[in-house]
Amino acid sequence: MCNTNRHVKWVVFLSLSVVFLFCSCRANVVSESDLSSWIEQISPQLRQGDIVFRKGNGVAGHIVLMAGGSAEAYSHIGIVACKDDSSGWVVCHAVPGEPDYKGDIDRVKCESIESFFCITKASNGKVVRVACSDSIAQCAANLAMEQWKYRVPFDHDYNWVDTTSFYCTQLVAWSYLHYGIDLVEGRNHPARIPGFNGVYIFPSDIEQSNLLTYISYY
């Protein structure tokens, strides 16, 4: 995608950011203690490769929801995995605007499930499981984790066929498609905001898959 289109997207993002800063307010569904209790409850049920959705509190989350249309209940998605040090469940996801340190690039990240769902980032969330063997689910999670280890950048062009960088839904779908599990099945739709002229894979396009089984939500 040309630099002009990327510039247009950036202008649209800044404009909408101002609108949301002055016209929207955040309403957390649960308290921090309730969220901690929910995570404690679901943790024993999780397996590597489970998919997590969240509805973001920030400007970027609101923009995704508006761009996706009425079907969009969630603005972001990631895949559950385990680090080699057995430090507990983590979420691997491609995300912009959440640097781990000053100067960090937008890239594939790995963070604790508590951090992924924390009330400053999400107002509600959901966990689902892909209908496949444990071994395939673990392989998909491991593949996503490799992109974190390689510091693969976030794809600001949202180019579905380019796997040198990823956006959130692309990372999850690609990790499973590599092992023969198609979570998208051709679903996509145009963004409903100016400056985004193509078709994109939104969280709802994965959420609609018949291969997903509901685990829990808050």
Per-residue pLDDT band at 101 (split at 50, 70, 90)? very high
Phi-psi category of residue 201: left, alpha or beta, with phi > 0 → left and psi -120 to 50 → alpha:
beta
Residue 12 pLDDT > 60, yes or no?
no
pLDDT at site 29:
64
Superfamily name and number for 3-217: endopeptidase domain like (from Nostoc punctiforme) (3.90.1720.10)
**Cα 52 from chain centroid?**
8
pLDDT score recorded for residue 19: 44
Q: What is the pLDDT of residue 57?
A: 86
For the entire predicted model, the pTM comes to 0.86
Return the structure tokens found at 39: 């995570």
Q: Please state, for a pLDDT cut of 90, what percent of the chain lies above it.
A: 71
Helix, strand, or coil (residue 29): coil
Whose structure tokens read 């680090």? 83
pLDDT in tens, 61-99: 777 887 888 779 999 999 999 987 667 999 999 999 999
pLDDT of 23 > 50? The answer is no
Average pLDDT over residues 57-63: 77
Degrees to nearest 5, angle at CA 91 with 164 and 55: 95
Check whether 59 has a pLDDT greater than 80: no
pLDDT value of position 5 = 52
- pLDDT-wise least confident of 21-30, 37-46, 167-176, 209-218: 21-30
CB 109 within 8 A of CB 95: yes
The full set of domain ranges for the chain reads 3-217
Residue labelled with tokens 């690039």: 105
